[in-house]
């Protein structure tokens, strides 16, 4: 017979489950501070935790929309463990229909009230958009991805940004936040907090942009 656990055992007394979006955000930021300082707690990585969430289902406390870049792993940089985060990852954290549907699923079906859109420095997708002279000439499905980034590229250029990649990154994060906030099925969700952030690959620190 598999061992059965109670919800408090799943969540743990050392890492109490956040009950509000504000608490969830503070948990993420505290975890990032641990990561930057080299003091990760490695929560929720035990066999007991794994067995519980396999049997009882997932109970994440935050949703993170992040880039697919292997250097930006939300569970690592926020010092979280198994079942803590519902992550939606695409190149350049581009929010196409299926990615937005995943966000809607997390909010509507998992009851998540914190969504963090997390861009990062030295983003390859943004560099590709900046260097692309002919988006439609890109191979495969890349035109759709690059086209999503172009408005932020053009806005950064129009603003005369000295660092186009950084200016594009910040504008793209804010545009993605706005897209989620304006999603028809999410507008009426009470207490939903959608924020944007920037992860620095060198320092490991997360900076909130909203």
Please answer whether residues 196 and 152 qualify as being in contact, where contact means their C-beta atoms are separated by less than 8 angstroms: no
Contacts of 32 (CB under 8 A, 6+ apart): 77, 78, 79, 204, 205, 206
69 is in an annotated binding site: yes
SS (H, E, C) 76-112: HHCCCCCCCEEEEEEHHHCCCHHHHHHHHHHHHHHCC
How far apart are the C-alpha atoms of 171 and 90, rounded to whole Å?
17
Q: Which residues contact 180 (CB under 8 A, 6 or more apart)?
A: 65, 95, 100, 103, 115, 117, 186, 194
Both tokens assigned to 184? 């028809």
Any known ligand binding at 120?
yes
Binding residues for Zn(2+): 67, 69, 120, 123
Binding residues: 67, 69, 120, 123
């Amino acid at each position: 017979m598999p061992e059965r656990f109670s919800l408090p055992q799943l969540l743990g007394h050392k890492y109490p489950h956040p009950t509000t979006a504000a608490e969830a955000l503070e948990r993420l930021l505290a975890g990032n501070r641990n990561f930057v300082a080299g003091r990760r707690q490695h929560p929720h990585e035990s066999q007991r935790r794994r067995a519980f969430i396999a049997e009882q289902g997932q109970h994440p406390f935050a949703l993170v929309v992040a880039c697919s870049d292997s250097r930006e792993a939300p569970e690592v940089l926020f010092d979280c463990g198994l079942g803590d985060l519902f992550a939606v990852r695409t190149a350049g954290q581009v929010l196409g229909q299926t990615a937005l549907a995943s966000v809607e699923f997390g909010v509507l079906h998992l009851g998540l009230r914190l969504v963090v859109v997390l861009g990062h420095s030295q983003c390859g997708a943004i560099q590709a958009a900046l260097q692309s002279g002919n988006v439609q000439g890109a191979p495969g499905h890349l035109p759709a991805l690059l086209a999503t980034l172009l408005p932020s590229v053009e806005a950064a250029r129009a603003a005369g940004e000295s660092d186009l990649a950084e200016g594009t990154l910040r504008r793209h994060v804010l545009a993605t936040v706005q897209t989620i906030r304006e999603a028809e099925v999410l507008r009426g969700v009470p207490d939903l907090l959608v924020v944007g952030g920037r992860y620095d690959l060198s320092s490991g620190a997360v900076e909130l942009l909203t």
